[in-house]
Chains A and B, each alone.
Chain A
Amino acid sequence: MKILRRIMAFPLCLVGVLLPWRLRVIFSECVGWIIQFIYMNYIYTLRFILKELEKAKNSGKKQ
């Protein structure tokens, strides 16, 4: 797992470290927004599932 993480991180770090400063900023922004997108999708999907479970639980109680 550790090695896999290192292999995944290496290209990102290599590209990041070699880029001139404005391009490094833009590259970080792109990586940041992609991670943000994945994270928000995860959060909102989980929130939706939890809400639906709660609804199902409450309707079960009423019946």
Chain B
Amino acid sequence: MPGKEVVLLYSGGTDSTLAACLLAEKYDKVRLLTFKRFGLFSAANSLSNVARLKARYGQDRFSHEIIPIDGIFRKVSYDRFFTNLFKHGFFLLSTCGLCKLAMHVRALIYCLEEGIRNVSDGANKGMNLFPDQQPGVIAMIRAMYAKFGIDYSNPVFEFEGPQDIEFADRFHLERIPDLAAERDAAFAENKKKTTGHRLYEMGMMPSDNVKGTAQDRGMQPRCFQFILFNTWLHWYYLPFADMDRYVREGDSFFLEKIDRFTALLKEYRAKGHLSELAGYLGI
């Protein structure tokens, strides 16, 4: 597809780096967008894998921008605050999902300004506790992009999530052989289907599971706001509700958010810098 470009929401982690590799095989140029805001630190960490991508595919095949989203994240998180608080309660602490929605809103504006019709991200089915990586919310985001004539895809969604690092591995202890063999055998097939393994095969990573290692921390931004989300989800919500309910209620919350921002984006397209959204973009 000569001359075809794609925008990729790029954190620098294994999922989005593999997504970048797969897109580089399909498109002429991949525009990597990394987002930064207060609370999302060391966005420049993503540069380490950008250098690897450029070394493998060529300097001209990738461009990389770090874009601030402070205003838009604040708007996404606190828009109609009290209405949402009474209706959805602690779902307002779904910071990871809301942050990703802010990134999508900003990426959509970027696409409109640059005339790009394809967007991708590194969403993966293994990360399904995060609302933005659940099929329901992904379908809503796809519909939002479609309303502006933009195609949204998830090239690594079907890859398996990484194997959890075991207690024994963390301490370099010998594991109970039978149990270890049983557990490893159970994951052996899936291991070959992880994004980390694929990158390792391509020579882009030093091992097939870097999740949780110092290298992993050094190649993507750091954020502690997942702590509140995890506390709410694992200590407050999930012990009293099942996954179906979580997904159902999360879908309802995000559907309202996405509908609201689709309307704001339409207003932005019509009125440009005079629109309500423009005030949150730092334009």
What residues make up the interface of A, taking CB atoms closer than 8 Å to B?
A: 2, 5-6, 8-10, 12-13, 16-17, 20-22, 24-25, 27-29, 31-33, 35, 43, 46-47, 50
Contacts and interface: CB of A to CB of B under 8 A. Distances in A.
A16 B236 contact: no
A6 B224 contact: no
Contact of A21 (B74, B232, B239): B74
B83 to A, nearest CB: 14
B224 A32 contact: yes
Contacts of B171: 46-47, 50
A35 to B, nearest CB: 6
Nearest to A32: B224
Interface residues of B, number: 25
Nearest to A12: B231
B236 A5 contact: yes
Interface in B133-147: none
B279 interface: no
Nearest to A19: B228
A6 B235 contact: yes
A2 to B, nearest CB: 4
Interface of B: 38-39, 73-74, 77-78, 85, 89-90, 92-93, 95, 170-171, 173, 224-225, 227-228, 231-232, 235-236, 239-240
A17 B239 contact: no
A29 B78 CA distance: 19
B235 A21 contact: no
A49 to B, nearest CB: 10
Contacts of A6: 235-236, 239-240
Given A47-B171, A50-B171, A21 B73 contact: yes
B225 A25 contact: yes
A6 B225 CA distance: 19
A28 B224 contact: yes
A43 B173 CA distance: 13
B95 to A, nearest CB: 8
